Structure 1
Amino acid sequence: MLLVSKYTAIRRLVNSYLQESLSIYAGYAKNLYIPAKENFVYQSRDKSKVLYISGIALKLAKSQQWDASEIANQIASHFLRNCDKSFRVEVLVPAWIRIQVADTIVATCLQSLVEFAGEQASFFETSITSPILPTTDSVFLVQYAHARCCSLLGLAQRQGLIQIDRNLQIPWLIKDGVSDDKFRCTDVLSRCLIGELVTVLDDLADINHSDMGHWQKAAISISKVFEDFWRSCRIWGEVKINSPELALARLGLVLVTQVILQFLLENKLGVSALREL
């Protein structure tokens, strides 16, 4: 399995492989200049999957007057040869390169947050730069979601369902030994929450995102999706008894949400991440 460093955002990882594929392609094309540090991918609006789209083939075709579809197919071919089963790559009309990230990669990224849940400040390469602001209604929504995460995690710990420490391993994936490992949480709300969390992790690795308004919008988006998730995705009762691994996987999403919301509140919005309201 392609491992994801705890310091690597998924978009950055995808872009690095795309850049490598572009370099291979450029080796066959004459007079082709490709910026080494440019970002060529963006996350799809469909948050139920971790998808990235690139229009680099269209850009190259316009500047070089070549066939965009042919360029896209060659780049996609190089990408797949380098990455095996870590990504699913296809070319869409007219020449968009669509890259779906395997659940194993996303699970590794989420697990890195679980393992470093008590070290948020050192996990992200940023620090508090914003002034302390009075709490607004929208920020209170984020504080409420964070407090709800803490409440659910506290209850789970008291019941012995989870113990939050560096050794905690969340059973994110179903391993059947036959097909590719898939997420245990298959419902749409869980997948949408995962998509929102990945988006924020991508943005945290992007130094161009420094506007407080952007981070407030991101925190509110996660909070709203989380509220839908915890109201609909049961953890206790029959799920805890009959599907303890599913209950633990859902608690893993609660923990990752708590880590990210705490960081956004304290380090980006300059307000307290309240543990109870």
Structure 2
Amino acid sequence: MDTLNVFQCPEVTVKRFLLAKFQGAIARGGTIGEIPLNRGKNSVRVVYVSAIALKLAKNWQQTPQAIAAQLVETLQPLCWPDFTVKALSAGTIELELTDAGLALWLQRLAQIALPVPEYRILSAVVSADRLFPIQYSHARCCSLLRMAHRDRLISIANPDVTTAPQIWSLAAPNPIPWIDGGVVRLIDRAECNLISQLLTVLDNLSPIWEAENREKPIDHLKLANTLSQAFQTFYSQCRIWGEVKTETPKLAQSRLGLVLATQSLLRFILEELLNAIAPIEL
């Protein structure tokens, strides 16, 4: 069985990772069509819920609860230690990203460039005033990263670029210290909201990496604006310098990891999907 974790797997998004695991878990019943899988609304916990057992009940001639129990037993070793899996009373299946899995996923977002889609539908030309908030957030990310490099909070392999790179590669710390005693350091509401938006934006962009779904309309500008707004809230509420830098430098580095992940995704949307410039300064 495929036991690759979220950092090693070829799937770009958390949702696609889980859908691949579901496909591996369902070993009978023939073609089942689309697997229902949706993110929970909780911005603190990264939870996905699937009603696949209800969909399979008629063909499998079992109760949804019995099917859910069987699928959970198969999914648990496929998803651990990245996800916990449990069956709910209604026959739905809940999968929650663990702190270890979240750290791996954040590291991937921060340090592995997103693949350029083979098929992509560029958005219509967007006016400069509508792009500016997104470009400003991207430039702010770049400014913070360069400042952190100068202050030796982090070490960027090539900080003196003139155009936004696909990824700002870290020489140190590597990996980013997301975890403290088995628990993710980033627990502030603004941090959790930014993490949630990063994963949500990627989940919504997933069709661009799937040739069979490439015609599905995606509002790239709306996704970028939502992420930009979450970043601005994070930037205003979560300090990196001052007492945080001197007293809890690993927390500062983890917050810079979020900046890295945000910059990478904003650059991708601006340059690859909106056909716009991702400035490193304004």
1:96 maps to a residue whose letter is T
Q: Which residue of 2 aligns with 1:135?
A: 127
Q: Which residue of 1 aligns with 2:18?
A: 14
Distance 2:6 2:60 in 1: 36
TM norm structure 1: 0.83
Q: Is residue 146 of structure 1 aligned with residue 138 of structure 2?
A: yes
Q: Give the Å deviation of 1:50.
A: 1.8
Distance 1:83 1:149 in 2: 33
Q: Is residue 185 of structure 1 aligned with residue 198 of structure 2?
A: no
1:209/1:98 Cα in 2 relative to 1: closer, same or farther (>3 Å)? Answer: farther
Q: Secondary structure at the match of 1:88?
A: strand
1:257/1:126 Cα in 2 relative to 1: closer, same or farther (>3 Å)? Answer: farther
Q: 2:81 aligns with which of 59, 81, 85?
A: 85
Q: Which residue of 1 aligns with 2:166?
A: none
Q: Which runs of 5+ in 1 are unaligned?
A: 27-31
1:190 maps to a residue whose letter is E
Moved more, 261-270 or 183-192: 183-192
2:194 maps to a residue whose letter is L
Q: Give the Å deviation of 1:154.
A: 2.0
Q: Which runs of 5+ in 2 are unaligned?
A: 158-168
Q: Which residue of 1 aligns with 2:221?
A: 216
1:42/1:234 Cα in 2 relative to 1: closer, same or farther (>3 Å)? Answer: same
Instruction: Check whether the contact 2:143–2:281 (CA below 8 A) recurs between aligned residues.
Output: yes
Deviations 1:109-161 (A, max 9, x none): 22233334xx55xx343476526724254422211211211121122122221
Deviations 1:206-247 (A, max 9, x none): 233656652111111111111111111110111000000000
Instruction: Check whether the contact 1:212–1:268 (CA below 8 A) recurs between aligned residues.
Output: no
Instruction: Check whether the contact 1:212–1:269 (CA below 8 A) recurs between aligned residues.
Output: no
Q: Which residue of 1 aligns with 2:196?
A: 195
Instruction: Check whether the contact 1:189–1:225 (CA below 8 A) recurs between aligned residues.
Output: yes
Q: Is residue 75 of structure 1 aligned with residue 68 of structure 2?
A: no
1:247/1:151 Cα in 2 relative to 1: closer, same or farther (>3 Å)? Answer: same
1:100 maps to a residue whose letter is E
Distance 1:103 1:267 in 2: 31
Distance 1:194 1:269 in 2: 22
Q: Is residue 275 of structure 1 aligned with residue 272 of structure 2?
A: no
Output aligned runs, 1:114-263, within 5 Å: 114-116=110-112, 119=113, 123-126=115-118, 129-130=121-122, 133-165=125-157, 166=169, 167-168=171-172, 169=174, 170-174=176-180, 176=181, 181-206=182-207, 207=210, 208=213, 213-263=218-268
Distance 1:48 1:188 in 2: 7
Q: Give the Å deviation of 1:15.
A: 1.5
Q: Secondary structure at the match of 2:155?
A: coil
Q: Which residue of 2 aligns with 1:2?
A: 5
Instruction: Check whether the contact 1:49–1:192 (CA below 8 A) recurs between aligned residues.
Output: no
TM norm structure 2: 0.82
Q: Secondary structure at the match of 1:72?
A: helix
Distance 1:212 1:125 in 2: 15
1:274/1:128 Cα in 2 relative to 1: closer, same or farther (>3 Å)? Answer: farther
Q: Give the Å deviation of 1:105.
A: 2.2
2:263 maps to a residue whose letter is Q
Q: Give the Å deviation of 1:91.
A: 2.2
Q: Which residue of 2 aligns with 1:29?
A: none
Instruction: Check whether the contact 1:128–1:270 (CA below 8 A) recurs between aligned residues.
Output: no
Deviations 1:179-226 (A, max 9, x none): xx2211122221221121122233343233656652111111111111
Q: Which residue of 2 aligns with 1:66?
A: 62
